[in-house]
Amino acid sequence: MPKLLRHLLKLVGVLAIVAWSLVPIGLIAMSSFKADRDIFSTSGTFAFAPTFANYEALWSRWGDFFFGLWNSFLVTLGATVLAVGVSLLAGFAYSRFASKGLQASAFFLIFIRLIPPIVITLPLFPVVNWLGLNDTHFVLIVLYATFFVSLGTVVMRTFIDQIPRELDEAAMMDGASQMQIIAKVILPMAAQGMLAVSVFVIVYAWNEFLFAFIFTTTKAKTAPLVISEMIGAVEGVEWGVLFAASTVQLVPVLAFVILMQKHLVAGLTAGAVKG
Amino acid sequence: MSARTPLSAIALVSPVQLMIGGIIFLPAIYVFWLSLNQSSFGQAASFVGFANYAKVLGDAYFWKALVNTVIVVAVVVHVELLLGLGMALFFASGVPFRPLLLAIVLAPYAVSEVSAVVMWRFLFEPDVGMMSRLLLSLGLPPIEWAVNPSHGLAMVSLLSIWLHLPFSFIILYAARLSIPSDLYEAAAIDGASPWTSFRRVTLPLLMPALLIAALFRYIFAFRLFSEVWLMTGGGPARSTEVMAVYLYLEAFRYNAFGPAAATGWLLVLASLLLALFYLRRLYKETFARA
């Protein structure tokens, strides 16, 4: 193939990939700065007078949304700390100990990922109500963390496997306890793995819809749930305000994913190869 | 390896095991019990055997949802793997601004299902959306996702592919990068054409990663809920429901907990069946390493 043609084909490929990934995102981000009359105008795709009207409307009329963002933040923080913490402990155990029972429980970790989340909402819904935990941050934190601890443990084990055992043995000689070894030796060196696990949990908890939809109504309502209410608002979709909300919800997690790209890739490969 | 597990190891794994055991495993088992009973909120359960299964299997909406799910899963997973494979090979052949392009490819991973629905509904809004206008200017019929069931499912599939392509791509790209380049050099010296070296080197070595990616995507695509719920709500006239939406409606709208639980167990069984070969291999590996 002539060189020029190859370069041309490559360029077309790159443009197609960029368009596929970015047009949907870019379009709503851009349209969130458009006045209503410009949103669907053919001439104003790029040429328009930017306005903050949609953001002002979002602020004044959908205070719920910002409350939802705050709830999302709390739930994401809680779920991440919980999931990363317990995954670190379990990952350490699976990396450093071996026994029949442990092998069986490692198998159980992976097996459990086959159960669809919606199935367990049936028995959990009445129990959560009975415990008075309905519409609390707590219930979402525990659910989100639980659905990521098995992947988290597998990823942590993969990362901890790479830390030389001699280091824990040396610390043990110095009289360090198990918890001290984890805190002083393993934790600093497993930071990469912990970041990888936290990327998964953060993206999941920040964006999750199903559990939030079933288990929260007002007090612990998360941002995606508020956006879904905006889609279904009776008076028809107010596109501009909806775009502003989607953009605000998306920007932090998008920036985070791009920043953490390396860890995301490392975690995905570690998690998928092993389990 | 010892037969006994040290106490400290038990203590370390117990938080994780208690969480998945108490919140996922036991409730899932309890769903089986629920599926054998007739119950609703605030009502004592009464044992009915397999009547709920008979009821579900006799429900035309269940079969509609099952067929929809199978079609959407088949389309989504296979198109996604094909695109992911193509992109992985494209990246491996050398692309300009690789780190930046990689970040762009990963971007949809950060997008919530809710926002993705907003984006794609906007693109395909009848008459005025950018894609609708593009189709119109090409003389093609519009996508009427709100009224035409197959168009609705097509939108859901498109949206799912868009959201999950980064996952399939990363798995395949990482696997492609781990193929040593001297294999390709050797193939080139032997006079292999690009197609031959793809078929004889790339494809066989990528096969494990392809299978893993396919398995994970089958299992996760099978749970599809939010995209459908937010795009079509299962309508018009319950024509675009998928399994998870059917289950949700049975349980939380029609208060039919028994049939919903039966549907849930059928979902679990289907997932296990899909993953059977993988579980078997994993089981052997897990205990062989011991």
Residue A236: give its domain's CATH number.
1.10.3720.10
Confidence (pLDDT) at B221: 92
Instruction: Give the whole-angstrom CA distance, residue B218 versus residue B223.
Output: 9
Confidence (pLDDT) at A275: 40
> Stretch B69-96: mean pLDDT, rounded?
94
Confidence (pLDDT) at A155: 92
> Stretch A131-150: mean pLDDT, rounded?
95
* Chain A residues 147-166 with CB within 8 Å of chain B: 147, 149-150, 153
Residue matched to tokens 């918890």: A179
Domain-embedded: residue A208: yes
Cβ contact (<8 Å) for A146 and B19?
A: yes
**Residue predicted with more confidence, A2 or A11:** A11
Domain-embedded: residue A240: yes
Domains, chain B, ranges and CATH?
65-256 (1.10.3720.10)
Cβ contact (<8 Å) for B110 and A254?
A: yes
Domain-embedded: residue A150: yes
Domain-embedded: residue A177: yes
DSSP letters spanning chain A: --HHHHHHHHHHHHHHHHHHHHHHHHHHHHHTTS-HHHHT-STTTT------HHHHHHHHH-HHHHHHHHHHHHHHHHHHHHHHHHHHHHHHHHHH--BHHHHHHHHHHHHGGGS-HHHHHHHHHHHHHHTT-TT-HHHHHHHHHHHHHHHHHHHHHHHHHTS-HHHHHHHHHTT--HHHHIIIIIHHHTHHHHHHHHHHHHHHHHH--HHHHHH-SSTT--HHHHHHHHHT-TT---HHHHHHHHHHHHHHHHHHHHHTHHHHHHHHHHHHHH-
pLDDT band at residue B274, thresholds of 50, 70 and 90? confident
> Stretch A250-270: mean pLDDT, rounded?
89
ipTM of the predicted structure?
A: 0.91
- Radius of gyration for chain B, computed over Cα atoms and rounded to the nearest angstrom: 23
Confidence (pLDDT) at A1: 63
**Residue predicted with more confidence, A254 or B5:** A254
A10, A99, A272: residue with CB nearest B95: A10
Residue A184's CB is within 10 A of a number of other CB atoms, namely 14
**Residue predicted with more confidence, A17 or B126:** A17
pLDDT band at residue B70, thresholds of 50, 70 and 90? very high
Cβ contact (<8 Å) for A268 and B282?
A: no
**Residue predicted with more confidence, A79 or B200:** A79
Cβ contact (<8 Å) for A142 and B123?
A: no
pLDDT band at residue A274, thresholds of 50, 70 and 90? very low
Q: How many structural domains does chain A have?
A: 1
B133, B216, B223: residue with CB nearest A117: B223
DSSP B185: H
pLDDT for B2 beyond 70: no
> Stretch A210-223: mean pLDDT, rounded?
95
Domain-embedded: residue A54: no
| Count of CB pairs separated by less than 8 Å, A with B | 277
Least Cα separation, residue A134 to chain B (angstroms): 15
Confidence (pLDDT) at A272: 65
Cβ contact (<8 Å) for A122 and B264?
A: yes
Cβ contact (<8 Å) for B251 and A122?
A: yes
Confidence (pLDDT) at B233: 87
> Stretch A148-155: mean pLDDT, rounded?
93
Domain-embedded: residue A24: no
Cβ contact (<8 Å) for B4 and A254?
A: no
- State the residue range of the domain holding A258: 62-274
pLDDT for B109 beyond 60: yes
A22, A99, A257: residue with CB nearest B1: A99
Chain B residue with minimum CA distance to A143: B23
B107, B225, B261: residue with CB nearest A122: B261
pLDDT for A19 beyond 90: yes
pLDDT band at residue B290, thresholds of 50, 70 and 90? very low
Cβ contact (<8 Å) for B286 and A106?
A: yes
Q: What is the mean pLDDT of chain B?
A: 89
B16, B225, B247: residue with CB nearest A153: B16
**Residue predicted with more confidence, A190 or A49:** A190
Range with the lowest mean pLDDT among A271-275, B41-45, B106-110?
Answer: A271-275
